[in-house]
Amino acid sequence: MSAPPAEVVPAVVACVAGAGLASLRWLRVAQREHYLPGACSRFAARWWSVRLGSLVLGVLAVAAGVLAVWWPIAAVLTGGVVAVGPLGLSVRGRTSPLAWTRRLRVLAVVVGGVEVAVLAVGAGMEAVLGTGAALSVAAAVGALGVPLAVDMALAITAPMERRAAQVFVRRAAERLARVDPVVVAVTGSYGKTSTKSAIVHLVATARAVVGSPASYNNRAGLARAVNEHLTEGTEVFVAEMGTYGPGEIAELCRWCPPTISVITAIGPVHLERFGSEDRILQAKSEILDGAETVVLNVDDPRLAALADRLAAEGRVVVRCSTVGASAAGAGPDGATGREARADVVVDGAWSDGGPRVTLRAFGEVVDVAGGLPPGVHPGNLACAVAVAVRLGIPLATLAPAIARLPDVDHRLSTTRSTQGVVILDDTYNSNPAGSRRALAALAALAPPVPSPAGSRGGVTGSPAGVVTRGRRVVVTPGMVELGPVQRAENEAFGAEVARVATDLIVVGRTNRRALLEGAGRGGVATVVVEHREDAVAWVRSHLHEGDAVLYENDLPDHYP
């Protein structure tokens, strides 16, 4: 017997309204995740399980959808839950609001089409079965399945978007061919942007150079960088190239072919997408195809092995490395192991006279007055120096430019607040190696103090001349996209924070448990907050002149 409209109509209306609000949430996630199919379903699983309240609501919504088979009005509860949940994922967004671009509008239309198709299936089943419940159940399924619908829409529109972007790619390829600069391509699990910035700074001492801005490192971003920034007379174009999967960098190199290719490091960044670091290496190595010169940071064992293989094939390989003056077992020139075989070495260390940087490049040695800015990693600098030298710029010309290397925004840049608190901003970093380096920078600011509650020890000067006296705070949501090692890496990070800092402020829920378990191995005081704004407020109210805070990584609010 057919269910009365008084039950079916409210159920369908509630589910359609709930699906509409949910679509706004998950379209925002899709946009923030670079329109990658599957991203919304992954984030939905996280959001609905990360809080007990969301988990309970999710179970109720599913149960109500099942109950709608016998009692269609129950689907009203499903629509209501989908409209408000998962808890904490807002429709508008605090840090990353929806931008109604052409692509998003097209995606929204296709998502609507998928939802209508689900309702149409329900209507067809109702016409056949005559129960009245089929339409309510279909509406509930559509509401519950919005993240999946967005992922389906992403897969449907991906070929169309590639064709639409091809116009801009073709224009960029034509501009590159006309201007004909030397293309330097840079990739790596981390250090890409810093290395690109250093290359542009050094090469600008002698050549007209343009670098791709910010992190414009995918197909659309790189094409836009060429079309908007590459001008006549440009001699060198430095292109940062990123990847979320095999084949992406190879496709970039087909229309933006590099003369010099650089790989900075291989690590677990994006491991959840690739599955293994060997696959990451394989994908990053696509940048080497066709390049006349290959620049590799051989401090990374995988890249050291790759350098040996390429050299055996007859490729021109420039090995880059770093070494500290106190390295155990160092030879007469201060080098040991891979450093002794490297073509370019940056030796950054402390001496009694203060900071010292020595460059060794192809047998030539130059000292640089002063230390490196906190955000400049010696390994990245070594790769940048290698590129500049290969472009014919004398090492003696590079030394003064190295002393003036600018900070890279949000990558261990240092400022001081109006209250006198030293601020280390490393919010654009999300990898284990970078986080360890950031903690080392924080540790250099002051010796450990006996009480995490903020006791004040004697004033101590750091090597960088920054004076602190006691409280050292780390604000972090932890590291993401590390796949199966994410929990272990965040636990290890929390344990290292406990060794270095007096206070740990954990932001959000994504890595909360792992960070707190790691921090629990030491005596660090811990504070848990929901949002970064809450952490900033805590810092402003608790820290004073002489204290220091490290903001390590930051996540947009589509992360729980």
pLDDT band of residue 256 (cuts 50, 70, 90) is: very high
Instruction: Indicate if 466 and 397 belong to the same structural domain.
Output: no
The answer, yes or no, to whether the previous bond of 86 is cis (omega within 30 of 0) is yes
Residue 125 has pLDDT above 90, yes or no: no
pLDDT in tens, 261-294: 999 999 887 777 777 888 999 999 999 999 999 9
State mean pLDDT over 506-523.
93
Q: In the prediction, which pLDDT does 301 show?
A: 92
Q: Is the domain of 136 the same as that of 230?
A: no
Same domain, 107 and 24: yes
- Whether 73 shows a pLDDT value over 70: the answer reads yes
CATH of the domain at 285: 3.40.1190.10
Residue 305 and residue 331 in contact, taking contact as beta carbons nearer than 8 Å: no
Same domain, 320 and 244: yes
Residue 315 has pLDDT above 90, yes or no: yes
Shared domain check, 375 and 422 = no
Share of the chain above pLDDT 90, in %: 61
The answer to the question of residue 420 being in a domain is: yes
- Average pLDDT score over residue span 359-363: 86
The three-state DSSP-derived secondary structure of 469-503 is CCCEEEEECCCCCCHHHHHHHHHHHHHHHHHHCCE
Structure tokens, 504: 């740990």
Residue by residue, DSSP assigns 212-228 as --TT--SHHHHHHHHHH
439 and 388 in one domain? Answer: no
User: 465's torsion region: left (phi>0), alpha (psi -120 to 50) or beta?
Assistant: left
Range of the domain at 478: 413-552
Encoding tokens for residue 538?
A: 């805590």
Q: How many domains does the chain have?
A: 3
